[in-house]
Chain A
Amino acid sequence: MSNAILSGEGLQKYFQTRRGVIKAVDSVDFVMREGEVLGVVGESGSGKTTLGNMIVGIYPPTAGKVIFKGGDISQGAGHRSLEIKREIQMVFQNPSSSLNPKRSVRQTLEVPLSVHKTASSVGERVSELLSLVELPPEYADRYPEELGGGEKQLVAIARALATNPSLIVLDEPTSALDVSIQAKIIGVLMRLKDRLNLSYMFITHNLSLMRNVADRVMIMYLGKVREVAPTEEFFKNPIHPYTKMLLSSIPVVSDAEEAVKPEKIVSTGEIAGALNLPPGCSFHPRCPFVMEVCKSVDPPLLEVEPEHFCNCHLYPNDYKDKKAPWQ
C-alpha cells in the first residue's frame, strides 16, 4: 500500500452566522494515498467544497488537523510556506469565473510561474503547460471569451499544473460542462495523473463519473463522512441507506446500468438546513430504516468490511440480513 499523502483528523469547520452556527464540516477523518483519486461525493450542503477549501487553505479548520506528507498544515494559506502552496493546487467548478477575462491565457499562466519561480524560461513553460493539457500553443495569446467552456477548464487545469503540484483538489471540474466535453476533460486529467504522478481529491455530485475514475469513494452528508470504500467494493456492496438512496436516484441511460443499482430506496425528504441539524444521525428524518436510537445517538464510523467504512446503527452487527421494511 502506498503512503498517505494527505489526511484529515477530526476536521471541523463551523461558520458563525447571525442566526446561529453552521456546522459545514463536522469531525471528518480521512486518508488519501499517494497517486490516488479520492472521490468526495455529496449533495449540495454536504460540506464537500468546505472540505476541499480547508485542504488548499482558503480557510483554516475550526478544529482538527490537516496533515500533508507528514507535516501539519492546518493553518490557512496565509501561514503556509510557498513550498506547501506549490504542492497543493485547486481547479474550480466554473472556469468562466475562475479565469480573469482581461488576461490572456499566457498572462494567466505566468502568474503562478512568477510567484513560485518554478521555470527557468517562462515562455517555454507556457507552451509546455498548454501541450500537457492538449491545447495547441497558439492558444497562449487568446482570451477566455474566445475559448469554449471545455477549453477554459483546460486552461484552469494548466494553471494548477504550473507549480508542479503533487495534489490537486478538483472541485466539480466538469459539472458546468456538457457530457461530450466532460469526457474530454476527464481523459486529459487521467492521462496527466499517470504522467505526472498526481493525486486527486475529486469533489463531485456525480457517482456515475466516480465509478469510472475514482480509486476510492467517500460519501458525505451534512458535514459527516457516511461511507468510504474502494470503488469496486463501493458499487458492488453499498451499505449506508443514504448511499443506496443516492444510487437509486441516479438517472441512467441503459438497462444494463439499471441492473447494477442496489435495491431501490425511494428518495424522500430533503437535506436538512445546516443551521438546525437533526439530533442523533442527521440522516434519520429521510431514512427508511430509522430506529429509536438513530434519533438521539450519532453512529460512529466503523470498518464493516476490509477497507469499507460506514456510519450507521444498522451495522456492523446485522447488516447482512437487514432487508427493506417492505420486503
Chain B
Amino acid sequence: MPLLEVRDLRVEYRVYEGTLKVLNGVSLSLERGEKVGIIGESACGKTTTVKTIMGLLAKNSKVAGGDVTYKGEDVLKMSKKRLTELRRKNISMVFQDPSAALNPVFTVRQQLYDIIKFSTDERLTREELHEKAVEVLRQGALPEPDRILDSYPFQLSGGMKQRVNISMALVSASELLIADEPGTSLDVTIEDQIMRLLKKIVEEKGISIIPVKKFVDRIYVMYAGTIVEEGPTREVFNSPQHPYTQLLIKAVPKLTGGGIPEGILGQVPSYLKPPAGCRFVTRCPYAMEVCDTDAPPLYGVGAKQRAACFLYDERQLPR
C-alpha cells in the first residue's frame, strides 16, 4: 500500500467572478521512503495539490471530487482531531518563503518550543525542550544552535531561516515531509546546500518527501491543474514525452549553450473557463480535433513513463 495516494482530485475556488476549477483530476502516489517531485509553471496547481494533502486549503475552496488517502485513511473525510494528530506526529511541510513561514516577533526558541510541545503527548521540562530543540537544529545543519535559538528571524539570513524551517518541520515529520519549492527564494549556492540537506535527511531517516523540484526518484509534471506526464526523473528530463514537458524543458536555458528557443506561446488558460478537453490545447503545436473535446488519459510511453496526450493513442493518426 502506498504511503500517500491522491486519486482524481478536483479542487475548486469560489471567487467573485465565479468558480475557478483549479485541480482537474490529479492522481499521484508515493511509497514509503520515496522521493517524488512535482514540476510545472506558476499557477498550475502544485501548491494547491500539496495544501489539499495537508488539509490547509483556504476557506473559499472546495474539494469537488477525488480522494487523498494516507496509509489507507481518507484525509479529506478525517475528523479535525485525527488530522491534527497526523500533523503533530507524521506529516509536516516546509514552505517556499522562509521569511513568511516564521513569526517575526518571537525568537526561534519560542517558536521551536511551541512546535516541540505540540508534537508530543508528554510534559517536557525546560531542559528536555532545550535538548530536543538543539538536536533538531543540528539535524538542520545549523552551527551554534544556542545563538540561533535566541535570535529573531530578522537576525538570520535567508538560508539560515530555511534551515530553521526544515528543523521545525523535522519535529513532526516522522513519515512524510512536503517541501514547497524550498530553495527558489534563495541564491543558487544556498539552494544547493538546502537541497543536499533535505536529501541527506530523507536518506538517513527514511521519510518520504515531495519536494517540488530536484533530487527525486520520480517526477510528476503538472499543467493547469492536471498531471500531464509522470516517470523516473532522469527519463522525464532526458526524453520528455508530453508536448508541454518538451517545450518547458526546451525553454530552460542550458549550461551547454545553444541559444534560447521561443518558449511556449500563450498563457495558462483561465481557470474560470478552462478548455473542455486537454487543458494544454490552446498552446499545443500538435493540437488535434479530439483534444478540444476529450481530456486525454495517461498513456504508457516506454517502460516507466506515462503521458496524458492523444499523440500516444494508437487509434489516432501518427504524427
Find out whether the CB atom of B248 lies under 8 angstroms from the CB atom of A180.
yes
Which of A183, A186, A235, A261 is most buried by chain B, counting CB atoms within 10 A of its CB?
A183
Contact A183-B260, Cβ < 8 Å, known A208-B254, A250-B255, A267-B189: yes
A91 to B257, CA, bound (A): 24
Contact of B256 among A247, A257, A268 (CB under 8 A): A257
Tell me whether A110 is interfacial, beta carbon within 8 Å: no
Contact A211-B159, Cβ < 8 Å, known A43-B188, A246-B188, A250-B188: no
Contact A182-B263, Cβ < 8 Å, known A249-B192, A251-B214: yes
Closest Cβ neighbor of A209 among chain B residues: B253
Find out whether the CB atom of B255 lies under 8 angstroms from the CB atom of A260.
yes
Find out whether the CB atom of B253 lies under 8 angstroms from the CB atom of A206.
yes
Q: Closest approach, in angstroms, between the C-beta of A142 and any C-beta of chain B?
A: 14
Residues of B near any A CB (own CB < 8 A) = 41-42, 157, 159-160, 187-193, 195-196, 213-214, 234, 237-238, 247-249, 251-265, 267
Find out whether the CB atom of B260 lies under 8 angstroms from the CB atom of A187.
yes
Q: B-facing mask of A179-214, CB < 8 A → 1, else 0?
A: 111111011001000000000000001111101110
Find out whether the CB atom of A253 lies under 8 angstroms from the CB atom of B258.
no
A268 to B261, CA, bound (A): 34
Find out whether the CB atom of A180 lies under 8 angstroms from the CB atom of B251.
yes
Q: Which residues of A contact B157 (CB under 8 A)?
A: 270
Interface residues of A in 265-304 (CB under 8 A from B): 266-268, 270-271
Find out whether the CB atom of B234 lies under 8 angstroms from the CB atom of A211.
no
Find out whether the CB atom of B237 lies under 8 angstroms from the CB atom of A211.
no
Q: Is the interface of B mostly helix, strand, loop or mixed?
A: loop
Tell me whether A255 is interfacial, beta carbon within 8 Å: yes
Q: Which residues of B contact A318 (CB under 8 A)?
A: none
A261 to B188, CA, bound (A): 14
Contact of B238 among A43, A183, A255, A267 (CB under 8 A): A255
Closest A-B pairs by Cβ, 4 of them? A183-B263, A249-B192, A180-B264, A43-B187
Find out whether the CB atom of A180 lies under 8 angstroms from the CB atom of B253.
no
Find out whether the CB atom of B253 lies under 8 angstroms from the CB atom of A270.
no
Interface residues of A in 230-270 (CB under 8 A from B): 235, 245-257, 260-261, 266-268, 270
A186 to B251, CA, bound (A): 11
Find out whether the CB atom of A267 lies under 8 angstroms from the CB atom of B192.
yes
Find out whether the CB atom of B263 lies under 8 angstroms from the CB atom of A187.
yes
Find out whether the CB atom of B189 lies under 8 angstroms from the CB atom of A254.
no
Find out whether the CB atom of A260 lies under 8 angstroms from the CB atom of B256.
yes
Q: Closest approach, in angstroms, between the C-beta of A253 and any C-beta of chain B?
A: 5
